[in-house]
Structure 1
Amino acid sequence: MGMYKYFSLVFVSMVAFCMFVSCDKAKKHIDVAEGFVKEKKLDEALVEYTKVIEADPNLAEAYYGRGKVYFELERLEDAAADFRKAIDVKSNYIDAHKKLAETFMKIGAPDDEFQKRFKAIQNDPDNAMGYVDLGVFYHKLEKDIDAIEQYKQALELDPNNSFILYNLGVGYLDMGLYEDAETIFKQAIEINPTHDNAHYNLAVALHKRGKIDECIKELNKTLEVNPKYSNSYVIFGLIKLREKKFDEAIAQYNKAMEIDPDNLEARYQRAIVFALQERYDDALAENMKILEKNPKHASAAYNIGVIYHRTDRLDKAMEWYDKVAKKIDPLYEDAYYTRGQLYSMKGDHSKAYSDYLTYAMITKWRTGKDPAVVYNPDEIKEMFLHSVPALKDQAKDQELELKTN
């Protein structure tokens, strides 16, 4: 009996030793992989992460790390698969949930993704992250009201989760409910003071509310947490733009692009300043560069139309409004509104009427509110019934605004 016990103890010790060695070996591979990532040696990093996964297929961190590398390499389907695997292994892996959502925001959700999320909620109705996943996909379709409802349900299950609060804040921000967004982001930061995205988006909400001093404080806090948060300088630029200090605004956008040369928002805002300075060729060139990087950037395409519109190149303006509405984003309401102005100027009241109504319907669908337009739908209908030419004149006098995101 004593000999049996002795061998049992040795066996258990050997198992523990092997587990320790395996764990230590996996950690070394992950460390090596992370080193390759920092050196931008992404192919070598993939090899190291794959070695870890082959050695231990239940290590969520390895799938997450490899998913991030795939994401950087624009292998988005592979990235989504790895982030999903990381979540399968560790259901409360917040960073993996974030990156999966970010990945699908770039590639679009597969057709069955909603069904998967509905079933996930049905199978586990007490899992807050299931509602967050569904909310993110509603958000992607710009169904902000539905997204907010899902985030609220998630928050009832997990009221102290800063990630859920952050998503709810973004929903309010996109709805233009800046006071609500401010409140929610402050709650998220109270729970997690190092959440750089929450600090940044709080700054955005404060900027929208005209609380400039508080906004600047939050931008500085964002940079304290993450000195490489390039979009902070975009907001600094918007503050300078608000003061009509155009050159200082451009300097801030340039600083953002020094940190991140692919910061399209900085380039986009710089294009707006060029347009305001009536440097229209520069503004067009900047927006074209944005579309080279992201052909689906509807606001850049829309602003190209606005620039042509402002400079009385109306056929070109119509071409770009058509491109936005028909090809890039059929739910981009401003394209219908400004195209309606052009149709009205051309005397095509029927198409103008149709575009104004489309604008109104999309705005109400997205926000749940009637749009604050020059005329409400009933007034527009009344004007067309009586063939009032004033619409043409007033539309022509309407100041064209660049879309500022």
Structure 2
Amino acid sequence: MKDKNQLGIEAMQKGQLEEAAKLFTEAIEENPNDPVLYINFGNLLSAIQENENALKFYSKAAELDENAATAYYGQGTIYYEKENYAESARQFQKAIQKGLDHADAFYMLGMSFMQAGSPKLAAPYLQRATEMNEEDTEARFQFGLSLASSESYKEAIEQLETVVLQDEEHADAWYNLGVCFLYQNDPEKALEMFEKAVSADPGHLLALNGVKSVKEQ
């Protein structure tokens, strides 16, 4: 027979959120010292944007088990949504330190540093996320951006060229390739990249301005 926690997870997956909440509540009443139950209830609350309550459940899980890596990941996600990037970075770092060796954790830690304006701190975590999931085009794009923002243009070009191989309609990647080639003193190549960005997205204002400024030089 399935336990109430498993039934709650299944109800949540089916979108039966009230039933899931009822089952998780009953499970917690029966096993008040099981951190997994608090994490699952936190996930449910986070899914319905009850973020403050979700934080309480994640915190309780971490109180019960300081090695509950997914509790820190859950908190990190909420702080990221709240745009508290210093705190989200702290929580994602804890999740990784406690053993959450998952591409999403490295990606979110990298993005926390990117949003906080620290691309050099972001780069190694975004690189790790890319290594762990080579098909994740968005992680690779952000890794390329972190390199470009750190003035490592040659390395950034390498990553962004892989992005457009994976997704030739990625206008932002084409645009940022153009910017990198400008910094590499190659306006001809930059123009080609800006034009490809416009081809992928005719309304890409930055790319349109790039085309104009190169042609006016």
TM-score norm. by structure 1 comes to: 0.37
Which whole-Å CA distance do the structure 2 matches of 1:241 and 1:281 have between them? 21
Are the equivalent residues in 2 in contact too, given 1:131–1:153 (CA < 8 A)? yes
Are the equivalent residues in 1 in contact too, given 2:70–2:100 (CA < 8 A)? no
Are the structure 2 counterparts of residues 241 and 280 from structure 1 closer, same or farther at C-alpha, using a change threshold of 3 Å?
farther
Can you list the C-alpha shifts for 1:301-326, whole angstroms capped at 9, x where unaligned?
xxxxxx9xxxxxxxxxxxxxxxxxxx
Identify the residue that residue 44 of structure 2 maps to in structure 1: 137
Are the equivalent residues in 1 in contact too, given 2:119–2:149 (CA < 8 A)? no
Shift of 1:280: 9.8
Matching of residue 220 in structure 1 with residue 139 in structure 2: no
Can you list the C-alpha shifts for 1:61-86, whole angstroms capped at 9, x where unaligned?
xxxxxxxxxxxxxxxxxxxxxxx88x
Are the equivalent residues in 1 in contact too, given 2:106–2:125 (CA < 8 A)? yes
Are the structure 2 counterparts of residues 219 and 114 from structure 1 closer, same or farther at C-alpha, using a change threshold of 3 Å?
same
Which whole-Å CA distance do the structure 1 matches of 2:55 and 2:100 have between them? 23
Shift of 1:224: 3.5
Considering Cα pairs closer than 8 Å and 6+ residues apart, tell me whether 1 or 2 has the greater RCO.
Answer: 2
Identify the residue that residue 164 of structure 2 maps to in structure 1: 254
Counterpart amino acid of residue 181 in structure 1: S
Identify the residue that residue 282 of structure 1 maps to in structure 2: 201
In the comparison of the two structures, how many residue pairs are matched? Answer: 181
Identify the residue that residue 107 of structure 2 maps to in structure 1: 200
Are the equivalent residues in 2 in contact too, given 1:216–1:236 (CA < 8 A)? yes
Matching of residue 161 in structure 1 with residue 68 in structure 2: yes
TM-score norm. by structure 2 comes to: 0.64
Identify the residue that residue 143 of structure 2 maps to in structure 1: 236
Which whole-Å CA distance do the structure 2 matches of 1:145 and 1:88 have between them? 24
> If you compute each CA radius of gyration, which structure gives the higher value, 1 or 2?
1
Can you list the C-alpha shifts for 1:12-71, whole angstroms capped at 9, x where unaligned?
xxxxxxxxxxxxxxxxxxxxxxxxxxxxxxxxxxxxxxxxxxxxxx9xxxxxxxxxxxxx
Which whole-Å CA distance do the structure 2 matches of 1:208 and 1:253 have between them? 21
Which whole-Å CA distance do the structure 2 matches of 1:251 and 1:225 have between them? 19
Which whole-Å CA distance do the structure 2 matches of 1:256 and 1:240 have between them? 19
Are the equivalent residues in 1 in contact too, given 2:120–2:147 (CA < 8 A)? no
- What SS does the aligned partner of 1:122 have? helix
Are the structure 2 counterparts of residues 165 and 255 from structure 1 closer, same or farther at C-alpha, using a change threshold of 3 Å?
farther
Structure 1 residues not aligned, in runs of 5+: 1-57, 59-83, 90-96, 259-265, 285-306, 308-405
Which whole-Å CA distance do the structure 1 matches of 2:141 and 2:102 have between them? 19
Identity of aligned residues (%): 19
Shift of 1:197: 2.0
**Aligned partner of 1:119 among 11, 22, 26:** 26
Counterpart amino acid of residue 28 in structure 2: I
Counterpart amino acid of residue 231 in structure 1: E
Matching of residue 182 in structure 1 with residue 89 in structure 2: yes
